A and B are shown apart, each in its own frame.
Chain A
Amino acid sequence: MTESNVHDYRDATLRSVSPNFTAKVFAEIGLDRYTICPSAIGDVYVAWSTPGVAAVRLAGDEQTFEAWYTERFGRRVVPAVEDDSVSAAARAKLQGGRVTVPIDLRDCSPFEQRVLHEAAEIRRGNARPYRWLAREIGAPDATRAVGNALGRNPVPLLIPCHRVIRTDCSVGGYVFGSDAKRALLESEGLDLGAVEKIVDRGFRYVATDDGYFCLPTCGDIATRLGVVPGYFGLRTLEEAHAHGLAPCTSCRPIAA
């Protein structure tokens, strides 16, 4: 037997584990991990469990975050060394990537989950009233509960609860503060100044030049509000009907 045979055997039989090996081990031992990701509002902690991302919070003091996490979720979380597929997806999404991030909403009630799933559908550049979201999930009288559910959103930014605002188009509360909420909406292309001008004049809807009427915060028009002369404000649904306008299918200004 030559030395080189054993060397060749050694090299040829080296193995490495598959990319999600560490994730599988941590799933089995039931330990959650967190990492720091840059985002539109600065560095955030992203914590994830086996099903997906469980929490997003502003980065700050590790001990405070870990204590908050255990208090809320009843599980321990430790700093991660390496990214896996879940944290890598979250990292990409928080930097504007169009990726699907698995989310862990086990901590939320069924009602909260419905609210958050609906909020997740609101696209970049848009905003919707709390009352609108209550109507969309079939609970038109639950506007306050919708607000509370959004306030408990464990994964802000990944589920864009900042895109839900008040009916008068003031931004309302936010886990990272109202100023951050306004800045986020602006950075996503929503012209809040133009929206406020419309609302201040008593308009609830905006008619477009192609025969539809929208909420002032509809992404299809909100970015063009101040610049397109064909748009005009509407105070009531009756006005919209009188002009023969159809409701926008994107922002759904009235119940379907």
Chain B
Amino acid sequence: MAVACAVAEPDTNTMLAEALARDVDRAFEDVVIAFRQPVVTFVARMLRDDARAEDVTQEVFVRAHRALHGYPPERRAELRLRSWLLAIAHNLTRNAVRDAPPPSDSLEYDDGTSRVGLTDRQPGPEGEVLRAEAWQSVGDAVAQLSPALRAAFVMRYVDDLSYDEIAETLGQPVGTVKASAHRGLLAVRAQLEMNDD
């Protein structure tokens, strides 16, 4: 199955939010279909664990459904669904990150030396190997960020969310979000430059 970057258009949001305002249950499958991919992708990037990512994503929608039933229709009609769902996802992944041991494919060894530079060169077309290493090294660098910086960096520089949306998702002032995303960017860049040396 082709994996497309499913980012809901604003009019989709309006349509879904209004449908939710009318009847949560009748609109809910459309919400799941529209946002399951962006949510699971965000969660997987935060957790770097695909199996747990799906479980957490399931929990995101279960909690969303429960919350929607508690909101009055006018509040449902106003929802910005992507940031609202990502906020639930962010809260759940924060708990999951806190509860889980650090990822086993962590960038650094105990003595602080980088694993990336030591990776065995696999045989195969040179370009492909370099390309794979390039994104993996971004992934490794992202994994090194604290959860707060990681969320801000991924949303801003990977998912291209606006600062407003990120602020809404993380429940933080725009200024804080800008600072976190920027610090995340600097840290990832520094990590990659260190690898290149």
Residues of A within 8 A of B (CB): 1-2, 4-6, 8-18, 21-22, 24-26, 28-29, 31, 33, 76, 78-82
Pairwise interchain contact A17-B188, C-beta atoms closer than 8 A: no
Chain B residues whose C-beta falls within 8 Å of the C-beta of A16 in the assembled complex:
1, 3, 36-37, 40
Residue of A15, A29, A82 touching B62 (CB-CB under 8 A): A29
Pairwise interchain contact A78-B62, C-beta atoms closer than 8 A: no
Chain B residues whose C-beta falls within 8 Å of the C-beta of A26 in the assembled complex:
29
- The interface-forming segment of B51-59, B111-119, B169-177 is B51-59
B contacts with A: majority SS: helix
Chain A residues whose C-beta falls within 8 Å of the C-beta of B161 in the assembled complex:
none
Chain B residues whose C-beta falls within 8 Å of the C-beta of A13 in the assembled complex:
41, 44-45, 135, 139, 158
Pairwise interchain contact B29-A21, C-beta atoms closer than 8 A: no
Q: Which of A10, A28, A79 has the most CB of B within 10 A?
A: A10
CA A22 to CA B5, docked complex, whole Å: 19
Q: Would you mind naming 10 contact pairs between A and B with Cβ atoms under 8 Å apart? A: A1-B192, A6-B138, A12-B135, A15-B50, A21-B36, A21-B58, A25-B62, A29-B28, A78-B29, A80-B29
Please provide the chain B residues from 147 to 197 with a CB less than 8 Å away from any CB of chain A in the complex.
157-159, 185, 188-189, 192-193
Measured CB to CB, the closest approach of chain B to A179, in angstroms, equals 35
Chain B residues whose C-beta falls within 8 Å of the C-beta of A11 in the assembled complex:
135
B127-152 CB contact bits vs A (8 Å, 1 = yes)? 00001101111110010000000000
Residue of A18, A79, A80 touching B54 (CB-CB under 8 A): A18
CA A11 to CA B26, docked complex, whole Å: 33
Pairwise interchain contact A8-B134, C-beta atoms closer than 8 A: yes
Measured CB to CB, the closest approach of chain B to A67, in angstroms, equals 14
Chain B residues whose C-beta falls within 8 Å of the C-beta of A31 in the assembled complex:
25, 28
Chain A residues whose C-beta falls within 8 Å of the C-beta of B159 in the assembled complex:
10
CA A76 to CA B65, docked complex, whole Å: 14
Chain B residues whose C-beta falls within 8 Å of the C-beta of A12 in the assembled complex:
132, 135-136, 139
Chain A residues whose C-beta falls within 8 Å of the C-beta of B135 in the assembled complex:
5, 8-9, 11-13
Chain A residues whose C-beta falls within 8 Å of the C-beta of B134 in the assembled complex:
2, 4-5, 8-9
B21-34 CB contact bits vs A (8 Å, 1 = yes)? 00001101110110
**With A15-B37, A25-B58 as contacts: A5 and B137 at CB distance below 8 Å:** yes
Residue of A4, A6, A21 touching B157 (CB-CB under 8 A): A6
Closest to B26 in A: A78
Measured CB to CB, the closest approach of chain A to B185, in angstroms, equals 8
CA A14 to CA B5, docked complex, whole Å: 7
CA A13 to CA B143, docked complex, whole Å: 13
CA A32 to CA B150, docked complex, whole Å: 38
**With A9-B158, A15-B44 as contacts: A76 and B33 at CB distance below 8 Å:** no
Residue of A17, A22, A28, A78 touching B40 (CB-CB under 8 A): A17
Measured CB to CB, the closest approach of chain B to A42, in angstroms, equals 25
Using A8-B135, A14-B3, A14-B37 as known contacts, list a sample of 10 further A-B pairs with CB atoms less than 8 Å apart, ordered by residue number in A. A1-B185, A5-B192, A9-B134, A13-B44, A13-B135, A14-B41, A15-B37, A22-B33, A29-B61, A80-B29
Chain B residues whose C-beta falls within 8 Å of the C-beta of A81 in the assembled complex:
29-30, 33
Chain B residues whose C-beta falls within 8 Å of the C-beta of A80 in the assembled complex:
29
Chain B residues whose C-beta falls within 8 Å of the C-beta of A5 in the assembled complex:
134-135, 137-138, 192
CA A73 to CA B44, docked complex, whole Å: 38
Please provide the chain B residues from 38 to 75 with a CB less than 8 Å away from any CB of chain A in the complex.
40-41, 44-45, 50, 53-54, 57-58, 61-62, 65-66
Measured CB to CB, the closest approach of chain B to A69, in angstroms, equals 13
Chain B residues whose C-beta falls within 8 Å of the C-beta of A9 in the assembled complex:
134-135, 138-139, 142, 158
Pairwise interchain contact A76-B25, C-beta atoms closer than 8 A: yes
Closest to A76 in B: B25
